[in-house]
Every structure is written in structure tokens, then in C-alpha cells.
Structure 1
């Protein structure tokens, strides 16, 4: 029996819809390139058979499939050719662009979404959840507030997932009071609500409020209990605030509560041992990792290497590195940094070369680590060679790289070269960079360069360190008028130097 044309098209269309759905389900099990190629084959089949792309919104399905496998070029081209993309297509474009780091472009698609306003493309709760992540990526709280207004206008302010997104956005934009306001107005909360609120408190250093919420068991009153994410967030918050005792106490409370730690827990806790130089405590956590059967992945291994490095045990750091079956850039970076900190510059250089021999591409962190190693070891020419070759690694020099280079040159008296680089950076220079340069001027008695750079930058310093160093340069030469001028500038800019103190 011969099929009619319309029946054939519908059959192809139905098959396409089914296959696209299945491709999105197996994306984690197949390589993204394989998914993209399969999608292109289906797309070609539809075009050669003149299948109506609007049937069952097939074009939107294809857009979503291209997007979810990371083929942004194909998804954008198809999106442009689609007359009335539906909410599914818009959501996928916004989601993929956001998670790929193209936040402004993602917001652009959201604006287009708002302008289209046809029956097929009205934002839903998933749209707003993703757009809020774009606001976080841009750290644009004003844009976030506009999105909040839209959410209120369309009636999604009662949706738990959308409110969780608002809490996250306000918290990460450092507007913790606004985040708490959304949290308090929620008629219903889930574990994610509490987790997000507590994490954001931890981010801004208001650890007591997050811990208090758990310990007086406010969470339990709503039939919920602190999960592993909450414990990890609070431990991480204490560590970031350098509150070692509280971090360790909280970890103990977590174990007493029979919450099993995971790789995130130990990765967050290990820096505590480095802060206090307690290699014994670090070994205990290392042993706990084995006893609990936790996976020593590249992140845990890198944290262990960093901990042993800060505690002065290079050999144990090397042993951890050697035990990693599949090393990535983070593993190599940690070991290069370890050798650099301990003055083992030759080992750091060898590891840098070995890393490339094993086809691991150096990244920004790698180059910062190797430049610091060259600085500590006095390898000026090698450091300059590496800095000049950064383009070959596909890395654009950032502020940290320039700081390392300035430090390298200043340590060994090459002040004119350092001066030229600081001028090249201009007003984008960081306080740490200018501080390193002025300190070099002081050591090598180059008041002329210190004055020149201060005038060149019009004293665009925000922290007191640079001002104090410049003041000390004048004082060491008895130039009291210069000291007075610097103090007047500090006063005008309301820059204050906190008095030093001793913990002894």
C-alpha cells in the first residue's frame, strides 16, 4: 500500500520528535559531538523530505537538542530561521548560553522572548530560574530586580523553585537582606530554600546566622533537616573566614549527626590544616578519606597536595600526585605551585615541561604558578620567556600574571623594565602590583621611579599599603614634605592604615 505524502511527513516528523527526545535523555552517556552529528543527520532528513518544521514544534525540538549538546552555532542558526520559536526553544537557548558563560547574550534572548509575546512563547517558571542565573553571572542586581518585578507581575512569586533562584541571585550579588526578604515571604520552603539561604549567609561571612538556624533546628520545624549541602556550606564559610576552630567543631558536629562527608566536605576542610600548618590534622583527614571510602578525585587530590605543601611536606604532596590515575591541569598546577613555594624551581620547571609533554594544556593558574616559581628562584630570563610566550598557550595575561612579573623584575633590581610594564597596565593596575613595585623602589632606592609612577597613575590607589610604602621612601631620605603630601592624599581619599598587632 502506498502512503500519502502527508502521512509520510507526519511519520518522519513523529520519528524526529521521538529521536530528539531520546538524544536529550542520553546526552550524559554519549559524546556531545556524536549527539550533534546525529542531530544534523535528522535535520538533513527533514529538509530533504520537505517536512513541515512547524509540525509539533519540531524546529524547537531540534534547537533544544543542538543546544543541549553544546552546538551553539547550529542552534542559533536554526533559531533565526524559526518563525515562532516556542518557550522550549527560548529556554534552551537562555540555559545553554548562561551555562556556557555568555550571560549578556542569554539576557538578549530573554529580552527577545519578552518582545515576541506570541501564544507559543510566554515565559514560564523555568525561564525565570535560568535568567536569574544569568543575572548572577553578570552580578547585575538591578537587572535581577527587574526580573523579580516580572516574576511578581506574572504570578510566579509563590513558586518555590523561582523563589530559590531569587534568593540565590540576591545573595550572590551581596544583597543578603533582599535575599532574606524573599525567604521570609515564602509560604512554603523546601530543603533547597534553606540550603541556598544558609550558603549565601556563609558567602558574606555571616556564619553565626547560618549556624544558629541549624543548631536551634528551625529547619526541623518545617519537617526538613539539614542536608549535606548545608553542612558543607557552613564549613566552607568558616574556612573562608579563617575561623579554624569553628570549622573543625562544625565538622565534628556533622559526624556526630551521622551525616557522612563527601569529597566536597574534605576539599573545603583541608585548607584549615594549611592555615595552621598542622600536617598531623591533615593526615587525620587524609586517613578519614580512605576509611570512609571517599573517592580521591582530582579535586580532593589537589586539595591534599596544597595542604601538604602549606604544611611543608613536599614528599607527601608528591606521593599524592603520583597516586592520581588521571591527572588534569588542577593536579599539575597544585604540584608546580608546591615546588615553587619551597624554592624547588628546577622541579617546577620540569613539571611544567612534563605537563605539556603529556598533552595537558597549561591554563591561567599554571602560568601564575610557574611565574611565581621563577620569581622565588631568581630565574628572571626564564620568567620573561614564559610571560612572552603566553599567547602560544591561548592565555591572555591578567592582573595576577602582571603582578608576578613585576615582583620578578623588582626582586632583582630591573626597575626600569618593571616601571615600563606598570605604565603599560595603566589605571587597571592592582594595589598588590603597585605595592610590589613601590616596595622594589624602596629596596633599590629608586625614589624617582616611585614618584613618577605615582604621578602617572594619579595616585589611583585604594588600599593603604602603597601610600605607606611611598611615604616610607620619602621618610628614609628625609623628604618630610613628600611624607606630608602623601598623608594629605590619604586623608582626602579617606584611606586609613590600621595599626599592626601581635598575636603573641
Structure 2
């Protein structure tokens, strides 16, 4: 008896592959790929190669997707879109934009609305408002600006990159809006601390007949948690349950924990983390990424390490976001060895991972290690951002490496230089006693001289006995006050200390009286001690 083998048709293979992509079935995708190679099937038939790229990318195997993509002679827009969106999704923003750049030089393939929506997510991840705005100009020229998905992506980009007025202008110009449009604007106002505007838009959504989704409710809950309004947070959770029948799920708990951490209500964040477990909800990557900063800010390495162990026990993979949060937490808690172990074990590192480790060494006085890591970062092709330069300049300040710090400062592009970087350079010069140069920097600044800059300069004058320059700064401060700019507490205290060093007690008394008249208060310092038996006695069963 002869048996015949019935091979699947092209249409059947395409249908199976599409189902694998939708269900993110990596094993089945590899089996189909192997069958195609073993049977001598022309893999470029019916764009099968691009569909394989999509299936690999959707399943999270970007390495295979990348290799296969570069074997395709003429990848179509479908393959490009998957590589752009998948890399943006995992935080590999530079890789995502690299594929977009390759697409732009093509003369036969053109980006579509899905392409621009994905690219905007990459610029959001990089907090790159400048290039995100260029995409806005491009989509306007192509006539895509009023496409709902592109419009929503633009609103989200402007909100998250800090240009709320542009976001609202675009929102008001949109011919049609959906729940996503309103939710993005609500999130934007919430992040900017404009809680009343968030509430107004929420009520407007309901009056338009649109039902808030879980993202909308969580945005409102986060907004109240972010300002430390515990009662408001509970009230909105209750409202979500009673009005729409939604119960707090993982997204809700993530929103609550993230909000409390951002408002530095650390005890409430820890309690919310426990309450989540009590409700039978297990954490995910977003939860631990949001929660770990609480351990760092409160100086709680034992709790942080327990969460680190929980990540492994629950089988959560340590992606670049979790890794960066762990490094930052261990750094703030003074656990440099643990921070470096996490850094070295992180296979895919983005700029945030490097920044966390460079900053860790800098803050703890290991200046050479910080600078060596900075050089290694550049050698590996990772482009430094504003935070990187801030970490390195701060490290140079701690090590009194004036020339090195100034060389690094000169490497920065003008648009990258912020007041924090200038404050670091001032601090660098003041620490080394180069007060004349420091004063020249202050004089040449076109922007308003901030508290931190004046404080660094006056403290330098005190240490290096340059009362003459301190008095010049006082004249500058008085001129600013006449223009309606108030003196701040830190500057007045620093100036008072300068006069005290030189025994000018009348001037000291004058400064102190001025502080009393203006009701300027200096924030007191405080220390915290990790006490797992008191504040966290209920948490050990969950870690």
C-alpha cells in the first residue's frame, strides 16, 4: 500500500502563521520555519518571510526576527512595522529608530499610520520632544495628522515629553476623539499635577457618552495617589467599583503603588504592596519597577533584597526596566556589590541601566569606576544622554577632577545643557577653589540663577574665604529681588554662614531677621533607620 503525504498549501501556511503571531506561539513559529526550510519551499512566496519576521517579533524572539529580516532582499512595510514596534515595546528605542531610518531611505516602501504610531512610542521612551515634533511635521505633510491612532500617539508623546499645551491644542483640533484620546490628556494633566483639569476631562468623557476604561480609571486613581491624597485614592477606587463594576486589578494596584512612590508616601506604597497580595493579585514587572524606588528612597535594603528574591521565585525575568530599578535601589541603599552584580547579569542594557550604575559609583566616591564605566559605555556604542552627563559631572565633583569634568562638559551639545549641569560645573569649580571662574559662569548665564547654583557658589566662598565674591553675589541677588525674584532660604542661610566665618555678626543677624520677616524656613534634615519589626512587621510573609 502506498501512502501519499498531503502538504499544506500556501494559504494554509499563511493562516497558521498568522494564528501563531496573534497567539505569540514561538515554538510553533519555529516549527513552521523549519518545515519551510526542510521542504525547499520558497520562503519569499506570499511574503512568507515578512510574516515569519512578524511571528518571531510578536513572540519576543527579536534576535531571530533581526537575523531573518536582514536576509530578506526586499522587506515590506509589514516587516518594518513589526521590527519598529517590537523594539520600542521592549525599550530598545535606538534599535527601533534604526529600522525607521532604514525605511526612510527606501525609495519603494513608504511608512503608514501604524509606522508613525510605533515610532512616536520610541521617542516617548527617549523623552525626545525635538524629534517627536519632527514626526508631527512629517505626518502633517502626509495628511496623517487627523488619523485617530496617529493623533492619539502624538497627544501621548507631547504629554509624556512635557509639552502639555501642544497636546491640548492637538486634542482640541481633532475631528473625532475616542476614549484613548481623552485618557492620554487625563494622564498628561495628572502627571503635571493639574488634578482639576483631569477631573473636568473625566466628567466630559462621561457626558460625551464614552465609557472610561480601566486605563482611564487608573489614571484618575494614580493622580490622587501621586499627590499623596490617600482618601481621594480610596474614593476613586470605590467609585470605579460602584459605577462600572470594575474591581482593582493588577493595573490598578500598579497605579496606586506608582502614585504613592512618586508622592514619596512610602509607607502607604509598602502597605499597598501588601494589600495587593492580600487581594490575591501577583505583581509583574511594572509592579516591582514602580515599588523598588520606595525601598531606595527609604533606605530599606532588606525589603529591596526581599523583592529581588521575589522576582526570581515568581519567575519574572529581569528586563532592562527591572534591572535599572534594582541597580538604583541598591545604589541608594549603599549596596554597590549587589548593584554591580545586577548590572553585569543584565544582557541587554539601555542608557538607563548605564546611568544607574555610573551614578551609583559617583555618589559613593568611586570616581575612577564611574569614569571607566562611562568610557566603556561609549565604546559599546551607547549614546550618553542628559542624565549620563549629570552623573559623570557629579562624580568629577566628588573627586575634584576639575579638568576632566570641564572636558566632559564641553562634549555636551548646547541643547543638552540644563541648569543641573551648570550647577555641577559651578560646584566643580567651587570645590577646587577656582572661584573667579565660577563667578564668571554665574555672570554669563542667560537663564535665571537657581538656588542650587547660588548655594554652591556661596558655600565655595565660605570654604575658600572669598568674602569679596560672596558680597558681589549678594548684590546680584538683591538686583534680582528688585525685579520681583524672591530670595530663597538656602541662599540666605549660606550667605549668613559666610558672614559668620568672617565674624560679621551684624550681617548674620540681618540675614536671619530677613528670613524671619519673609517667613523663609530651611527644611530640617532627617535620618531613617530600617526597622522591619515595626513598620514592616506584616510584610515578611509576602517576600
TM-score scaled by structure 2?
0.68
Aligned pair 1:440/2:463, yes or no?
Answer: no
- Residue 427 of structure 1 aligns to a residue whose secondary structure is coil
| CA deviation map 1:353-411 (0-9, x unaligned) | 222333333332222212212211222232223223335xx984322222222112212
User: Which residue number in structure 2 is paired with residue 197 of structure 1?
Assistant: 220
- Residue 312 of structure 1 aligns to a residue whose secondary structure is coil
User: Which residue number in structure 2 is paired with residue 469 of structure 1?
Assistant: 494
| CA deviation map 1:14-68 (0-9, x unaligned) | xxxxx76786567546976667767876748xxxxxxxxxxxxxxxx86647746
Cα separation, partners in 2 of 1:422 and 1:495, compared to 1, 3 Å: farther
- Residue 366 of structure 1 aligns to a residue whose secondary structure is helix
- The offset of 1:281, in angstroms, is 1.1
From 430, 433, 437, the counterpart of 1:417: 437
Cα separation, partners in 2 of 1:478 and 1:321, compared to 1, 3 Å: same
- The offset of 1:290, in angstroms, is 0.2
Aligned pair 1:249/2:271, yes or no?
Answer: yes
- The offset of 1:173, in angstroms, is 4.0
Aligned pair 1:348/2:373, yes or no?
Answer: no
User: Which residue number in structure 2 is paired with residue 164 of structure 1?
Assistant: 183
Distance 1:122 1:385 in 2: 43
Contact 1:340 1:370 in 2 (8 A): yes
Structure 1 spans left out of the alignment, 5+ residues: 1-18, 45-60, 73-91, 114-119
Distance 1:464 1:358 in 2: 44
Contact 1:406 1:418 in 2 (8 A): yes
Distance 2:145 2:345 in 1: 52
Which aligned pairs between 1:234-383 and structure 2 lie closer than 5 A? 234-383=256-405
Distance 1:365 1:378 in 2: 20
Contact 1:202 1:234 in 2 (8 A): yes
- The offset of 1:250, in angstroms, is 0.2
User: Which residue number in structure 2 is paired with residue 408 of structure 1?
Assistant: 428
Distance 2:282 2:379 in 1: 39
| CA deviation map 1:60-81 (0-9, x unaligned) | x8664774675x9xxxxxxxxx
Distance 1:452 1:270 in 2: 45
- Residue 385 of structure 1 aligns to a residue whose secondary structure is helix
| CA deviation map 1:234-273 (0-9, x unaligned) | 1122222222221111001111222221112111211222
User: Which residue number in structure 1 is paired with residue 450 of structure 2?
Assistant: 430
- Residue 496 of structure 1 aligns to a residue whose secondary structure is coil
Contact 2:191 2:223 in 1 (8 A): yes
Cα separation, partners in 2 of 1:105 and 1:203, compared to 1, 3 Å: farther
- The offset of 1:178, in angstroms, is 2.4
Distance 2:433 2:198 in 1: 51
Cα separation, partners in 2 of 1:397 and 1:143, compared to 1, 3 Å: closer
Contact 1:423 1:453 in 2 (8 A): no
Contact 1:431 1:463 in 2 (8 A): yes
| CA deviation map 1:63-100 (0-9, x unaligned) | 64774675x9xxxxxxxxxxxxxxxxxxx9xx9xx986
Distance 1:295 1:367 in 2: 29
Moved more, 408-417 or 460-469: 460-469
From 479, 492, 496, the counterpart of 2:520: 496
Structure 2 spans left out of the alignment, 5+ residues: 1-75, 88-95, 529-543
From 203, 212, 225, the counterpart of 2:247: 225
- Taking only aligned residues, the RMSD between alpha carbons, in angstroms, comes to 4.1
Cα separation, partners in 2 of 1:221 and 1:408, compared to 1, 3 Å: same
From 411, 425, 446, the counterpart of 1:389: 411
Distance 2:235 2:101 in 1: 49
- The offset of 1:125, in angstroms, is 5.3
Distance 1:121 1:280 in 2: 51
User: Which residue number in structure 2 is paired with residue 211 of structure 1?
Assistant: 234
Cα separation, partners in 2 of 1:279 and 1:354, compared to 1, 3 Å: same
| CA deviation map 1:182-202 (0-9, x unaligned) | 323415322122012122223
Which aligned pairs between 1:442-457 and structure 2 lie closer than 5 A? 442-456=462-476
Aligned pair 1:178/2:171, yes or no?
Answer: no
Cα separation, partners in 2 of 1:425 and 1:146, compared to 1, 3 Å: closer
Cα separation, partners in 2 of 1:340 and 1:102, compared to 1, 3 Å: closer
- Residue 357 of structure 2 aligns to a residue whose secondary structure is helix
Distance 1:343 1:41 in 2: 49
Contact 2:83 2:99 in 1 (8 A): no
Which aligned pairs between 1:109-128 and structure 2 lie closer than 5 A? 123=146, 126=149
Cα separation, partners in 2 of 1:249 and 1:367, compared to 1, 3 Å: same
Contact 1:207 1:237 in 2 (8 A): no
- The offset of 1:455, in angstroms, is 2.9
Which aligned pairs between 1:34-53 and structure 2 lie closer than 5 A? 43=108
The total of aligned residue pairs comes to 436
- The offset of 1:437, in angstroms, is 0.9
Contact 1:20 1:65 in 2 (8 A): no
